[in-house]
A and B are shown apart, each in its own frame.
Chain A
Amino acid sequence: MFETFYPILFLFVFAVFLAVLLTVFSVILGRRTRSGKKGQSYECGVEPVGTNKEPIPVKYFLIGISFILFDIELIFLLPWAVVSRELGMFGFISIAVFIALVIIGYIYELGKGALKWE
């Protein structure tokens, strides 16, 4: 238990330490100058037009929701995959029914045009 998880914890702590160290390094070592328009957003040399606080197209949310649904279904496949040989035909038919249900949902989603991009 300890031998398995300690290295992962240490790697995580070490990576976070490195990330903070790199950021602090550049903040300390880099030059600092402030002048007039320097703090503006990038706009290729002209005055910035618009902000980023505008509504986001709903398509992105649809993609997000579809992803969560299908990803959860995907997670259910993994335990079956690990013991597929032991479960044999019974396991396979069960998972085939499950995947068939997923595919019905997928076809419904396609039909509704949720995955349509133009």
Chain B
Amino acid sequence: MLEVILISSIKVIVVVVVLLTGCAYATYMERKVLAFMQNRIGPNYAGPYGLLQPIADAVKLIFKEDVVPDNVERLTYTLAPMISFVPAMLTFAVVPFSSNFTLFGYEITGVISDLNIGILFVFAITSLGVYGILLGGWSAGSKYSLLGGLRASAQMISYELSYGLSIVGVIIIANTLSMVELVEQQSSIGSWFIWKQPLGFLLYITCAVAETNRSPFDLPEAESELVGGYHTEYSSMRFAQFFIGEYGNMLAVSAVATTLFFGGWQGPLLPPVIWFLIKVFCFMFFYIWLRATLPRFRYDQLMNFGWKVLFPLALFNTLLTGLWVLWLGDVLFGG
């Protein structure tokens, strides 16, 4: 009992620390990659190649003044950044990051908690992020942040439908909701679920970009028309929490995509954790690549795309997969 408590507590702390570092360096990676794509150098003053930039940013943000406007709703204004910060961390509770390994004579599982409804947990937690954004936008007492918050939440719930539907195909094939079992079923490159669910993967990745409010779906932050969106009135560490939440969510959907479609930690030669990190960072690179390439959608285009293209496609994908598994199932998808 005590051993279980100790081991899992240490594991949680290690994962959260790695995750926060990952968020910090995701910002560095984004700035650096964007810079190179636009033929600039990017951050290069703090430390070699600017590698200490995220730490400098964190220190700066902590020591900044915490400006709270006069006409805010105190309670929700304080809670909103936390509500967007906590779910980003919680998603990683069920994502398997490694195979089981032995450390100091203890058998340690490669996942914080092997929940038997893992995927459902991920989607439930991801949906909570919308509260942080909506409450933050509403309680700040500024019309820009209200508009940003409204847009963000309408966008997120619109894309959440197709987001949830896009994984039903995977579950039909795998017949399990547990993330650990999903990874175990994809032991070689040939058995990755992306080959069996190409449409499902496209839907997932499109909706994931929209869910995390990233370019080209970054309407909530449209700085050319809405100043800064829902976090206009936030400053200092509260502002940073929204950002950690955003980057944490990006890492989370990347990790879930890795687990669902790309075989999770499975891979030859290198240790499982390294494979997991490589795959996740490929997705992060993809995110940044999208941002450097595509222009922003218009809001009506965005909503129409979500409701009139992605949603019917996702339903179609679900039905097709169900039928396919029944007719050709054991020929193509194995037992």
Contacts and interface: CB of A to CB of B under 8 A. Distances in A.
Interface of A: 2-8, 10-12, 14-16, 18-20, 22-23, 25-27, 29-33, 38-42, 44, 48, 50-52, 54, 56, 60, 63-64, 66-67, 70-71, 74, 77-78, 81-85, 88-89, 92, 95-96, 99, 102-103, 106, 110, 115, 117-118
A6 B4 contact: yes
Contacts of B236: 26, 30
20 contacts: A7-B112, A8-B115, A11-B93, A19-B85, A23-B82, A30-B62, A42-B232, A52-B140, A52-B143, A67-B160, A70-B161, A82-B175, A84-B326, A85-B175, A85-B329, A88-B326, A95-B322, A106-B312, A110-B308, A115-B304
Interface in B1-54: 1, 4-5, 8-9, 11-13, 15-16
Contacts of A4: 113-116
Nearest to A62: B154
Nearest to A15: B89
Nearest to B318: A77
B90 to A, nearest CB: 6
Interface stretch (B97-105, B237-245, B275-283): B237-245
Contacts of B299: 117
Interface in B238-284: 238, 240-241
A78 B255 CA distance: 21
Contacts of B82: 16, 19-20, 23
B12 A78 contact: no
Given A18-B16, A19-B85, A117-B299, A38 B67 contact: yes
A63 B160 CA distance: 12
Contact of A50 (B86, B143, B326): B143
A76 to B, nearest CB: 11
Contacts of A60: 150, 153-154
A14 B70 contact: no
B107 interface: no
A38 B67 CA distance: 8
A64 B315 contact: no
Instruction: Tell me whether chain B's interface is mostly helix, strand or loop, or mixed.
Output: helix
B303 A115 contact: yes
A3 B329 CA distance: 35
Interface string B68-98: 1111000000100110011001101100000
B64 interface: yes
Interface in B281-335: 299-300, 303-304, 307-308, 311-312, 315, 318-319, 322-323, 325-326, 329
Contacts of A41: 69, 71, 140-143, 233
A-B CB proximity, top 9 nearest: A26-B237, A39-B70, A117-B300, A41-B142, A81-B171, A15-B89, A19-B82, A52-B146, A67-B157
A26 B65 CA distance: 7
Given A7-B11, A71-B164, A56 B112 contact: no
Given A63-B154, A67-B161, A83 B175 contact: yes
A48 B311 CA distance: 40
A51 B69 CA distance: 13
Given A18-B89, A19-B81, 14 more contacts: A5-B113, A6-B4, A7-B12, A11-B15, A23-B241, A41-B69, A41-B71, A42-B144, A60-B153, A64-B154, A77-B165, A99-B319, A102-B315, A117-B300
Contacts of A83: 175
A3 B15 CA distance: 17
Nearest to B113: A7
Nearest to A74: B164
Given A82-B176, A96-B319, A11 B307 contact: no
Contacts of A15: 16, 85-86, 89-90
Contacts of A99: 315, 318-319
Contact of A22 (B116, B120, B240): B240
Contacts of A31: 63-65
Given A8-B112, A18-B16, A85-B325, A23 B78 contact: yes
